[in-house]
Amino acid sequence: MPERRTVALVTLGCARNEVDSEELAGRLAADGWELVEDASDADVAVVNTCGFVEAAKKDSVDALLEANDLKDHGRTQAVVAVGCMAERYGKDLAEALPEADGVLGFDDYADISDRLQTILSGGVHASHTPRDRRKLLPLSPVERQQATDVALPGHGDVAPAPEDLPEGIAPESGPRAPLRRRLGTSPVASVKLASGCDRRCSFCAIPSFRGSFISRRPSDVLGETRWLAEQGVKEIMLVSENNTSYGKDLGDIRLLETLLPELAAVDGIERVRVSYLQPAEMRPGLIDVLTSTPKVAPYFDLSFQHSAPGVLRAMRRFGDTERFLELLETIRGKAPQAGVRSNFIVGFPGETEADFAELERFISAARLDAVGVFGYSDEEGTEAVTYDGKLDADVIAERLEHMSRIADELTAQRAEERLGETLEVLVESVDDEDGAVGRAAHQAPETDGQVVFTSSEGLEPGRMVVAKAVGTEGVDLVAEYCEVLGVGSRTPDEEAGR
């Protein structure tokens, strides 16, 4: 009988990392590892790190140190770093953080089981030397699909799937379809639509360690969605660094418009949500599909970042306040209840008081459902590091505090505008402490608000129900449950069998 090997995956950062962790889980389970939730119960704790900004990197280091402490108190024998921070810094991270028994890059994912076994047995796997992953794929997008020797987390690889896969692992359905094992029971799951980014925003280092943009094939996305539906998933969220570019390397920049109705038609899927949209790449056909396709959420996660033209140009981005407001007007003209969220950077090098006022003017007029505001900080390896006109830290902090307060007030007002709306809500949890909680079409998981039901009677996780917004708690809505979707018009009393 083979020796019992246990592993726990601790995931930090964005939804793309969550998908990568479930791919690692699938590979490990297929090779006989037992997955456990608590790192203290695992022989190996694998920390999927985030390397986006300083705060995220600090959280990743803290998680690695916390896992290392378990080696003195529990079963844990080894702590291994994977993910963006591990890929970005490689051997430098290993030298700076000797508490990590291994630092594995994306190229190690295909052999993750062997890597962990080596480390668990006391061996050493040399940490990689970081490299600019944008240079690994061909410059021409249409040639990238043939580059099967490049590791693409969330895309799988060309090796055939093992025979007799354990139950609960997604089988490979094509040359780039990954093994996958769910790491939870949420009725919501992310599906990776693409990897990498071809944009060159001056503040962002992601393309250097995630690589150039490459789409997954529609058949693989559909196959993974069908498998997730079989696992009980009701909502899928399409994730990548830039979903609006999907299909450009497959010969059809409008491929997303074709794929969305097919995903919405998958048996068992109640909602399809698209994240990470670039305002400069929004096109009329995509807006039409997002606002008119049944089961596709009219939800727009638009990466505005700023609205003052001079700041946007310095960021190597496009647009201005008026064009952004026109885009929002077009969206709401087609779907008045559409949800919109965005992130903004304040204190960018050269940002004047007039630029800051222009951003406030836009945010005040945009009626956004959710807003993330971040203070600029130098990110090594980016163009903005070399810019003149850096603002003092106290000025950035003051602007961050001011804009965050404005954003909180405006998003709370936007929630109040939704009072009386009829909502389609996916119930996500029901318990004695918090009652029943779910999300409407305008609310993405983790980043936006939620719906709190006035009563949990007749509600179960995974059900899509009709509810009416009757109150607000900041950005959250308080709602009364009306009926269950998909089973006729059933009232709460009928649902309870009275």
Sequence-distant (6+) residues with CB within 8 A of 217 are 145, 174, 176, 250
Q: Is 84 annotated as a binding residue?
A: yes
First-to-last C-alpha distance (Å) of the chain: 53
Find tokens 């599906």 and name the residue: 191
Kindly state the DSSP code that residue 399 receives in the 8-state scheme: H
C-alpha neighbours within 13 Å on the C-beta side of residue 444 = 27
Structure token pair of residue 331:
């969206």
User: What are the Cα distances from residue 79, in Å, to 23, 271, 457?
Assistant: 19, 37, 43
Within 10 angstroms of residue 349's Cβ, the number of other Cβ atoms is 19
Separation of alpha carbons 114 and 125, rounded Å: 10
Q: Which residues pair with 426 in a beta bridge?
A: 439, 464
- C-alpha span between 421 and 394 (Å, rounded): 42
H or E segment to which residue 30 belongs = helix 15-30
201 assigned ligand-binding residue: yes
Q: 482 among the known binding-site residues?
A: no
CA dist., res. 122 & res. 117, Å (int):
9
Rounded-to-integer distance, Cα 427 and Cα 465, Å: 7
CB atoms within 10 A of CB 73: 8
Measured at the CA of 374, the angle between CA 371 and CA 378, to 5 degrees, comes to: 155
Which residues carry a binding-site annotation for [4Fe-4S] cluster? 14, 50, 84, 197, 201, 204
Which residues carry a binding-site annotation? 14, 50, 84, 197, 201, 204
